Amino acid sequence: MTEKVVPLTDLEIASKATMKAIWEIAEKAGIPEEAVEPYGRFKAKIDVSKLPRDSANGKVVLVTAISPTPAGEGKSTVTVGLADALSKLGKKTMIALREPSLGPVMGMKGGATGGGYAQVLPMEEINLHFNGDIHAITTANNALSALIDNHLHQGNALQIDPRRITWKRVLDMNDRALRNITIGLGGPTQGVPRQDGFDITVASEIMAIFCLAISLDDLKERISRIVIGYTYSKEAVTVSDLGVQGALALLLKEAFKPNLVQTIEGTPALIHGGPFANIAHGCNSLIATNTARSLADIVVTEAGFGSDLGAEKFMNIKARQGGFAPNAVVLVATVRALKMHGGVPKGKLAGENVEAVMNGMENLAKHIETILAFGVKPVVALNRFITDSPAELEAIMEWCKTNKVRIALTDVWEHGGEGGVALAQEVLSLLNEPNNFAPLYRVEQSVSDKVGSIVQKVYGGSGVVFTDQALKNLQEIEKNGWDMLPICMAKTQYSFSDNPKLIGRPEGFAITVREIIPKLGAGFLVCLTGDIMTMPGLPKTPAALNMDIDSEGNAIGLM
């Protein structure tokens, strides 16, 4: 008789873990009791105004990854495991992560709390509503929409052109049927008819503002600068013209406090703000990062998807504005994902295939180049799976040795912090080296120069094509003097190019910018490339179909 060992799911591991009271975690993090506002027993909001006013000077370790594949890379898992390993080595460490969006949770990707023994807890609650921040952002966004449409309906004193309203409604949901809608139908008592559409909340400007504001005053000031559309005479209309920045900031008051939780091993983690990295800037809130930097010596944070998306924006947008440098970058890769970049389809990943892995290394190589282009040194975290063969792992290690790239094997899914010690040691040695971080472009450059530098130095593309629409947007942006802002690229995560099918390391491609949207509150210009959508759709079999709850309130089927 043979026994088959069924491995525990992430949810099962999370459910079995014993959490410490959040007070204890706060104390460990050096957060005074009066700053802690518990949300249940294992989550808290932190009132940063009650923290000791130390300067924020913890070092920042940014975790990014190769271009994602359906095989999965485990970036959040490595982020958590690395922090646990650093804690284990006696370093005062804190994690800063994004909050999961319900879109992917109910849709395809599942949650965003790490996996195995490298998770943040309570996994269920973080993945479902958490402390309500994203809902508050949705509400502030849609309150603005309702106030705009009410303004049109009640006489339109500002002479807003209903055809030129750029502010869209949002839901934290994958809901393609809401991408293009018409509203205000039904006659004169039912509002003014116009085209509209919903984005997912995590792509909204309010989310971006939330993640870049450094204080409540800054939050309100940024909200007041949002351009919601244009008048019949094509003048920009802002939130301050409507006079509702106070109400919108008020709706974000509690949400704006960073959320404290813990890893399975008890490392404190701040999880706050959650913009997607493909259609938004992809990093947790600056206020959480700053708070973590004021409390810990090392802050481990992540930016979404590959280094071409989250990390690029982390460096060109967030670090530039925050005035800090990422002191080290961890680049997560897996054998399976590299095989896919090497041309193997998902169904055929089983079995050793060193050649495919080596072919896929070109994707990793490009990400390494990208990070170096920012003047920061990377270390590759080779996130081990039980199916990886020694020869495959060895080939990657050897490649890194030959190319003088730091690399460490990690095994944090199975072993938690213990499985991340080798990586932690590499990171610590990197932190002792000088780095020459600088954003890739100056904001004073022209928009096309800025986009061009991202396309060439980050994506490895050959050029940029602006559609007529984008050129019209650009004209408007220059006319209004908004061109001196950083760029937030919206691009598929699957490829360096704007075509999701070009995996590996495509070359000689041009990026098509089809629309440029000024986000003056966030303080950047969004460039929509290729077919990228700001409202995802659900897959044929949504994750929701496997979810359930038992009579005692335990979650089933959360990933």
Using the rule CB under 8 A, which residue among 79, 101, 119, 142 binds its own copies? 142
The answer to whether 228 contacts its own copies (rule: CB under 8 A) is no
Minimum CB distance to its own copies smaller for 194 or for 336: 194
What are residue 173's DSSP bridge partners?
none
The answer to whether 557 contacts its own copies (rule: CB under 8 A) is yes
Query: Which backbone phi and psi does 114 adopt, to 5 degrees?
Result: 85, -170
Find where tokens 């490392």 sit: 267
**C-alpha span between 72 and 559 (Å, rounded):** 13
**C-alpha span between 385 and 68 (Å, rounded):** 16
Catalytic, out of 98, 257, 293, 377:
98
Minimum CB distance to its own copies smaller for 184 or for 343: 184
The half-sphere exposure of 380 on its side-chain side, counting CA atoms within 13 A, is 28
Minimum CB distance to its own copies smaller for 87 or for 131: 131
Cβ atoms within 10 Å, residue 250: 13
The answer to whether 243 contacts its own copies (rule: CB under 8 A) is yes
**C-alpha span between 406 and 428 (Å, rounded):** 12
Q: How many residues bind its own copies, per CB under 8 A?
A: 82
The closest of 429, 524, 512, 504 to 467, measured between CA atoms, is 512
Catalytic, out of 85, 140, 277, 408:
277
Query: For residues 55-114, which are near its own copies according to CB under 8 A?
Result: 102, 106
Minimum CB distance to its own copies smaller for 436 or for 551: 551
Query: For residues 246-285, which are near its own copies according to CB under 8 A?
Result: 246-247, 249-251, 253-255
Establish whether 514 is a catalytic residue: no
H helices present in 231-345, as ranges = 239-242, 245-251, 286-295, 312-313, 320-322, 335-341
Judged by CB under 8 A, which stretch of 209-217, 289-297, 320-328, 461-469 contacts its own copies?
209-217
What are residue 516's DSSP bridge partners?
527
Establish whether 92 is a catalytic residue: no
Establish whether 77 is a catalytic residue: yes
Q: Length of the chain in residues, anyone?
A: 559
Minimum CB distance to its own copies smaller for 1 or for 185: 185
Shortest distance, CB of residue 467 to its own copies, whole angstroms? 17
The answer to whether 185 contacts its own copies (rule: CB under 8 A) is yes
List Cα–Cα distances, 215 to 221, 320, 487, in angstroms: 10, 17, 23
Query: For residues 498-537, which are near its own copies according to CB under 8 A?
Result: 537
Minimum CB distance to its own copies smaller for 221 or for 355: 221
The closest of 546, 548, 515 to 531, measured between CA atoms, is 515
What is the identity of the amino acid at 33? E
**C-alpha span between 363 and 345 (Å, rounded):** 16
Judged by CB under 8 A, which stretch of 87-95, 133-141, 283-291, 313-321 contacts its own copies?
133-141
Estimate the crossing angle of helix 390-402 against helix 354-373, to 10 degrees: 40
The bridge status of strand 406-410 relative to strand 378-383 is parallel
Catalytic, out of 64, 77, 93, 370:
77
Judged by CB under 8 A, which stretch of 5-13, 145-153, 233-241, 376-384 contacts its own copies?
145-153
Establish whether 277 is a catalytic residue: yes
Catalytic, out of 59, 109, 168, 313:
109
The answer to whether 27 contacts its own copies (rule: CB under 8 A) is no
Establish whether 98 is a catalytic residue: yes
73 annotated as belonging to a binding site for a ligand = yes
Question: Which residues have a catalytic role annotated?
Answer: 75, 77, 98, 109, 277, 305, 385, 413
Binding region for ATP: 69-76
